[in-house]
A and B are shown apart, each in its own frame.
Chain A
Amino acid sequence: MTRWLLPGFLAVGVIATLVLIVGPALYAVSLSFYEIRSLTSAPEWAGLANYAAVLASGEFWNALWNGIVYAGLAIVLQVVLGIGFALLLNQPFVGRPILRGIAFLPYLLPTVIAVLTFKWMVDGSLGIVTILMDDLGLPPIYWFETETASMVSVILISVWLWTPFVTTTFLAGLQTVPPQLYEAARVDGAGPVRRFFHVTLPSLRPILTVIILLRGVWMFNKFDVIWLTTGGGPLGATEHLPVLSYRMAFTLYDIGSGAAVATLSFFVLMAAVTLYFRFFPIEGGK
């Protein structure tokens, strides 16, 4: 019985992966080699024409750059703030368990609820933030009205939503650092800052490497926040590759080009992850 257990479980996993992930992904890649003008029209073989058209368009490079800016800045802020909150929540104080629970709350909220709530709060006429600022005699903030403001807004929403993930993961890691290391550092005269850089960070490097990797991949592929807040606008200022792919496929009905953008996005991400592991191998932390 046990002889078949492992291969059985493996087979289920492999079949599920093939059917639910590999199959659809290959199908999506195959679509990129066809010209498909609507969701019901017959595909026509186009070779690499969709790739050539996409790579020659300014939209693709603009979306790639936007994705790098969005993911890059969001990760930096999430990691810096997440570590900061984790260090605070690792200190003993009254009410710590409650605060730890609250700190995780934004991560539990469905994105659509968080985003729509934010949009209502900053609504230019009826939003509570707008009304409070008006009551305080402050000018209104045009949260999404300029190209820079839009990017800043979507980054801030993303930071608010996913910093708790970094906090919680890093906090869990902090519990595993042997107290003797801190005591030894203290005996050697190291202050809090030096203890952080010479004890905490090196001890948690493998965790940090994984956190940054996961957040990077997730942010680069993050669709919902941008789609729900700005739709990629204004004037393409927040349009990154997932939004561009969706727009091409489902609003312009250029399915082939949409699939080409998605495939290119996959390869860009794969290259970035490969480079990342080259510079930050997880084993290196041990």
Chain B
Amino acid sequence: MTDNKFLTGPITRRKALKGAGGLGLGLALSGLAAPAVHAAGGAPIRFLNCETGKGTLAFFSKAAAEYEEKTGREVVVDSVPLGEAFTKITNGIRSGNPYHVANVGFIGHVLLLAEEGQIVPLNELTDEYQWGNNILFPVDGKVYWYPFDYNLALIYYRKDLYEKHGLEVPATWDGFAGNCEALVEGRRKGCLFPIGSNGASNWMSFAFMWAEGVKIFDDQWNVVLDSPEMKPKAAAYLDFMARLYPTMPPGSLQASYADVLSNLVAGTVAHGAYAGRVIESAERDNPAMAEQLGIMPYMDSAGTRKAASHGYDGWVVLDTDNTGPSMEFMRWLTTAKMVDFLHTAPVHFQPARLDIYDDPRWRDNAMIRKYATEIETMRELVTDDSVVVTSIDTQGPVPDVRPGKVFESFAMPEMLQDKILRGTDSAEAVETTAARIRELVG
């Protein structure tokens, strides 16, 4: 023990204690000083982003740095795939460390959070603009999210194959199924519309039914899918999908968003549904294919009505101690930076705000100029009142969590599976699904 250098060497116990004390004091002071430094800019804004494209991530990184430089307020951006967003948001709330601004891609989640008082109305940001159809989903006049884009699912078709085979852009189910059958050749299949229990099926495969005028709920929230008016239409839709199925590649039950995208870009299917991402992916990976892709809305059986499958993304502001600064950040993001943000996926991020379509800064983009015709078609779909823009989760007379439950239960894709894989009679499949939905929504 006596040979301990702390007792006998140049560093004595007293010196060591003094040094440790000094170090502790320094650390304590620096710790005390830290809040003062933070206080200059306030608590950081925690931003949950779900747009994970390379360009979009770079945009948020740059925007956060710019905002901090401008205001002194740090913005911490976390990025996760959209599928994980709601769990992250709710986990944050439960853990007492919530996000302040979050990206949401499912209106059912917005309504759930609004119902529980977890998010604040954003009318002060949304009221000053004109918006496309069916995108704000107000609840008693209050808008709880800031939609930044539509992701309408539209039908992509091969213009070169149509020309080669002398086919017309179809206006009826019969015409569409005929074209799909005509374009099956070797490994190339006629079309791909997912039928599995997943979000891709919910999004891509039901707009034919919406075009036909099918509704799941009436104005009083009664399930009317199997009503005398709706059942024959829904059953006819199932018969139509059963006709398309043999023209699809094996695996349509498992097909995800990525599968449909890759099949369209690779040219292994002649038709498929998606939003503008297809054009961007084709431009990047298969430019020759990008030139050959045309778009059309979904159609009904008689050729009288068009539809697009609703898709959208937006931001919510959570009700936290940091709500005020978060709203300020949102105001900055949605005014000064909105166009830059949309340019990170210029065709895919179809603007929800109508003023943007006429904004020269937005139009001044190579992709937007090149695909001006397609973009104009997309714009018409959200401004023409005769076009049905809906989806499973936005069914019903007003925004509500009930259609969200139907969406999440995958009851509708399972109706397709019941018909296509089990060969159940179409009317019976509709009745079974309606009964299941009644059970789900109470």
Contact = CB atoms under 8 A, between A and B. Distances in A.
Task: Note whether A and B form a binding pair.
Answer: yes
Interface of A: 38-41, 119, 122-126, 130-131, 134, 140-147, 229-235, 250-253
A131 B197 contact: no
A131 B250 CA distance: 12
Interface stretch (B88-96, B156-164, B231-239): B88-96
Contacts of A41: 116
B247 interface: no
A235 B421 contact: yes
A50 to B, nearest CB: 15
A254 to B, nearest CB: 10
Given A40-B116, A40-B118, A144-B251, 20 more contacts: A39-B87, A122-B251, A124-B248, A124-B252, A125-B263, A126-B268, A134-B187, A141-B250, A142-B250, A143-B251, A146-B421, A147-B421, A229-B254, A230-B254, A231-B196, A233-B197, A233-B414, A233-B417, A234-B421, A253-B112
Interface of B: 86-87, 90-91, 93-94, 112-113, 116, 118, 187, 189, 192, 196-198, 248-254, 259, 262-263, 266, 268-269, 405, 408-409, 414, 417-418, 421-422
B93 A40 contact: yes
B249 A124 contact: yes
Contacts of A39: 86-87, 90-91, 94
A125 B197 contact: no
A234 B187 CA distance: 25
A38 B251 contact: no
Q: Of A125, A147, A232, which is in contact with the most chain B CB atoms at under 10 Å from its CB?
A: A125
A131 B188 CA distance: 12
Contact of A145 (B253, B263, B266): B253
B422 A126 contact: no
A145 B249 CA distance: 11
A112 to B, nearest CB: 14
A103 to B, nearest CB: 30
Given A124-B250, A126-B268, A233 B187 contact: no
B266 A125 contact: yes
22 contacts: A39-B86, A39-B87, A39-B91, A40-B94, A41-B116, A119-B254, A124-B248, A124-B251, A125-B189, A125-B263, A125-B268, A126-B262, A140-B250, A142-B251, A229-B254, A233-B414, A234-B196, A234-B417, A234-B421, A235-B417, A252-B408, A252-B409
Contacts of A235: 414, 417-418, 421-422
8 nearest A-B pairs in the assembled complex, by CB-CB distance: A124-B251, A124-B250, A39-B90, A124-B249, A125-B268, A125-B249, A140-B250, A233-B197
Nearest to B98: A40
A145 B197 CA distance: 12
Contacts of B192: 125
Nearest to A147: B421
B189 A233 contact: no
B285 to A, nearest CB: 13
SS class, residues of chain A in contact with chain B: loop
Contacts of A231: 196-198
A145 B250 contact: yes
Contacts of A119: 254
A131 B198 CA distance: 26
A210 to B, nearest CB: 36
Contacts of B198: 231
Nearest to A39: B90
Contacts of B94: 39-40
A84 to B, nearest CB: 31
Q: Of A38, A147, A232, A252, which is in contact with the most chain B CB atoms at under 10 Å from its CB?
A: A38
A107 to B, nearest CB: 25
B400 to A, nearest CB: 14
B87 to A, nearest CB: 7
Contacts of A123: 251, 259
A141 B408 CA distance: 29
Contacts of B268: 125-126
A251 B252 contact: no
Contacts of B252: 124, 145
A28 B60 CA distance: 38
A116 to B, nearest CB: 11
B407 to A, nearest CB: 10
A125 B408 contact: no
A38 B116 CA distance: 9
Given A233-B197, A234-B196, A38 B90 contact: yes
A126 B285 CA distance: 15
B92 to A, nearest CB: 10
A38 B112 contact: yes
A161 to B, nearest CB: 19
A234 B251 contact: no
A144 B90 contact: no
